Amino acid sequence: MVMEEEETSQWKQAMINSTSGAISGAISRTVTSPLDVIKIRFQVQLEPTSSWNSLSRDLSKPSKYTGMFQATKDIFREEGIRGFWRGNVPALLMVMPYTAIQFTVLHKFKTIASGSSKTENHINLSPYLSYISGAVAGCAATVGSYPFDLLRTILASQGEPKVYPNMRSAFIDILRNRGFQGLYSGLSPTLVEIVPYAGLQFGTYDTFKRWAMAWNHVQSSTNTAAEESLSSFQLFLCGLAAGTCAKLVCHPLDVVKKRFQIEGLQRHPRYGARVEHRAYRNMFDGLRRILQMEGWAGLYKGIVPSTVKAAPAGAVTFVAYELTSDWLESILT
């Protein structure tokens, strides 16, 4: 009887984690889609993003996008408001299973590490275990949802006129030209990126939460349970800081990933040169070639919209997850 109750409790907790993760991921992705589209346009652009870089490298071909505000204005003028949500359907199909898997694996790993399935006990984990938990969860989620990430990048990188009118046409073209393994193009740099990124995001989030709780304890005049609870605004700030830290460290690997994802695929000439098939032998070769041809600025193309997006994306994801999780627990328990 006790065994059955424990299994039911674990199943219920897994359902809460996966549902909360899927909902929080969908909300975050939809809210930050415009910044994601702008970021991808910069990352897949081979031409320099500034006139200074162009002159210093003796490259005369002008780039389509040179700044965040200019890119925003051009996308709106040429593609309308819908252009900022280009690729959002595969993005949602990617992010919902991604965050569902991520938070489920994260909770399971923390349960094993702490010896308790209660979320409130997980905050006492050491920083090292928090980082490792995030990295393991990120890897599992990446492998499970990667083809949708690939399709999202391809659809978001194209402007007008479209090369692929919808997700189905892009999917068929990838299978025809690259085979099944083409759906996992760029997976290696993605996994290399996601280990430090997810580790930093979840590890620093737990660290900032501990600091916030300590701050509440210092500020509180009475020793009550309220000291241990964080407000939605405090959770938002913790998520904001965690997302920003992770993105600043891992952005170059994200640029290489995007290049692998679109290599060999058609791209309208007005958006600049396309990435040729097998342009980079591997991740390290990609980093070296981008550094050689485009300079350090090339490795940080799209860093402004990426950072601007990462902060609210992390904040919205964590806050939506915690609120949804609490709501589901109040219903199911």
Label residue 154 by pLDDT band (50, 70, 90): confident
Cα 19 to Cα 27: distance, rounded to the nearest angstrom: 12
- SS3 assignment, position 88: helix
79 or 62, higher pLDDT: 79
**Model-wide pTM > 0.85:** no
Cα 276 to Cα 99: distance, rounded to the nearest angstrom: 32
24 or 159, higher pLDDT: 24
Angle at 245 (CA atoms; ends 241, 251), nearest 5 degrees: 140
| For range 219-224, the mean pLDDT | 58
Label residue 227 by pLDDT band (50, 70, 90): very low
Average pLDDT of the chain is: 77
Which domains, from first to last, does the chain contain? 17-185+266-332 (1.50.40.10)
91 is written with which tokens?
């993005």
Q: Are 146 and 166 in contact (CB under 8 A)?
A: no
Q: How many residues does the chain have?
A: 333
| For range 53-62, the mean pLDDT | 51
| For range 79-87, the mean pLDDT | 86
Q: Are 205 and 198 in contact (CB under 8 A)?
A: no
193 or 1, higher pLDDT: 193
| For range 234-259, the mean pLDDT | 82
What's residue 54's pLDDT? 46
Label residue 56 by pLDDT band (50, 70, 90): very low
| For range 213-238, the mean pLDDT | 69
Name the residue with tokens 């998520």: 239
Name the residue with tokens 């900032």: 208
Alpha-carbon separation of residue 289 from 89, 267, 272, 274 (angstroms): 32, 21, 18, 15
Q: Are 328 and 14 in contact (CB under 8 A)?
A: no
| For range 61-79, the mean pLDDT | 84
What percent of the chain stands above pLDDT 70?
Answer: 84
DSSP state of 46: -
Name the residue with tokens 């952005």: 251
Residue 256 in this model has a pLDDT that exceeds 80: yes
Alpha-helix runs per DSSP H in the chain: 2-43, 51-56, 68-79, 88-114, 119-122, 127-157, 167-178, 187-219, 232-262, 283-299, 303-332
Name the residue with tokens 């006790």: 2
| For range 234-261, the mean pLDDT | 82
Lowest mean pLDDT among 79-83, 88-92, 175-179, 276-280: 276-280
258 is written with which tokens?
């995007």
Cα 160 to Cα 158: distance, rounded to the nearest angstrom: 7
Cα 19 to Cα 16: distance, rounded to the nearest angstrom: 5
